[in-house]
Amino acid sequence: MAICKFTFKSEGSYLKKISSVKISGVPTTATFTLSASSTPALTPATTASTINISADGMDNAVYVALFPGETTPTFTLTAGESTYEGTLTASTLKAGKFYNGVVVEATKTGDAPAADYVEVCGTKWAKGNLWYDPVNGGDEGFQENWRIAPNQWEWIGYDKEVIGTLDGYKGSYIDNRGERIRDFFQYGALSITEIQSHQFSFSDDISGKFFTYTLNTSNRITNLTEVPREYAMFGDIVADVSNGKYRLPSILDIDRLYFSANFQIGYYVSPSGKKVGGVLFTSPQGERIIDKTNLVEFTSDDLERGLFLPCANSASAANKYNGWVLTVPSAMSENSDYIGGYIKYCGGYYSLDYYLEYYKGKVQLNYAWPTRYSAASDIYYKIRPVLNE
């Protein structure tokens, strides 16, 4: 194989923030011939094919291994907010050689469509939490009244003067027009109604899955059986209402955030001037950065390059917990109780084994319910969907 480092220029300037490259006109398979009477030979296929490359943080170059021989590849790429095309002049690549800094002249062909996700450490996250919103209707491809929040920072109730009052038990807000809108849900519920008083006694990652269940003598949900959606009583509400475009985060998805991603505590200033607090997760470009104490004001550009999870309230049958909207630009108090839990994975009776929480000035990944909670069935949490690929 020959290893090539490709960079791209357009109108005299090198392209940066490259997010995807398609290489056409190159062989992607070969035949390796072994013979006792001759030297082993590698013969690339004569039919040209396509290589698709996408990477979080590819920046200004792409490295690719190509079969040796004569080649005239064509490149289609996205850099920043634009798309480009370019063709490399005919070249003969030699096996075992590294071609450093091959420059491809590219011509702008248009504006790149805005991605409907942000990618962090290999997971593509929606640009907003899941909402049930009969006021403004649903997104294209979703079931009626279901949508992704308009912005990463936006949660129902961050601006109480506009949105109305919290109904803690139902896990929703009554807006000033009398409509019930909702952005936090129970684990495993497939509708906006709660799973009543049933508690959990299983440990299953339900991302992208649907189940039936039985109740044991203690009235707990048990004996999950995976079934097609039309027969389900329990499962992934995101996959359901988005018709499979998105899903709940899996164990791996949130582990990637907590154990691999950079995270920075801070706030975003909304158009109405509210300082919406939360955490920004980004992919490391070198040494991992973790900052749980220094408050940073995030820009719109910051939110385009990372996952912002606002500290967006939680509720139970007995309690209502505050989300984090700052009145002064200072860090959260060690004694303040700001909750922003996100559903991930449930396992066992009275336990939510993995979920993110912002609590008393710290970002933490909990492996069990905090002691102030009673039972899993009473708790309502936010959901940030993941693109289902």
What would the DSSP string read from start to end of 219-275? SEEEEEEE--GGG-SEE-HHHHHTTTSEE---HHHHHHHHHHSEEEEEEEE-TTS-E
The reported pLDDT for the residue numbered 109 is: 92
The token pair at 166 is: 């919290």
> Does the pLDDT value for residue 353 go beyond 50?
no
Of the listed ranges 19-23, 42-46, 134-138, 257-261, the one predicted with least confidence: 42-46
Amino acid (one-letter) located at 241 = V
pLDDT > 70 fraction of the chain, expressed in percent and rounded: 69
Q: Which of 94, 111, 128 is the last residue of a domain?
A: 111
Question: Do 255 and 191 share a structural domain?
Answer: yes
Spatial separation of the C-alpha atoms in residues 263 and 283, rounded to whole Å: 9
Question: Do 157 and 240 share a structural domain?
Answer: yes
Greatest mean pLDDT among 72-86, 328-342, 353-367 lies in 72-86
Question: Do 244 and 180 share a structural domain?
Answer: yes
Question: Do 325 and 186 share a structural domain?
Answer: yes
Q: Which of 46, 80, 111 is the last residue of a domain?
A: 111
Question: Do 249 and 232 share a structural domain?
Answer: yes
Domain count, the chain: 2
Residue 147, judged by CB atoms within 10 A of its CB (0-12, 13-18, 19+), counts as buried
pTM of the model: 0.66
The reported pLDDT for the residue numbered 179 is: 58
* Residues 284, 257 contacting (CB under 8 angstroms): no
Question: Do 248 and 195 share a structural domain?
Answer: yes
CATH of the domain at 21: 2.60.40.2630
Question: Do 169 and 43 share a structural domain?
Answer: no
Q: Which domain holds residue 135?
A: 116-389
Q: Which of 111, 146, 167 is the last residue of a domain?
A: 111
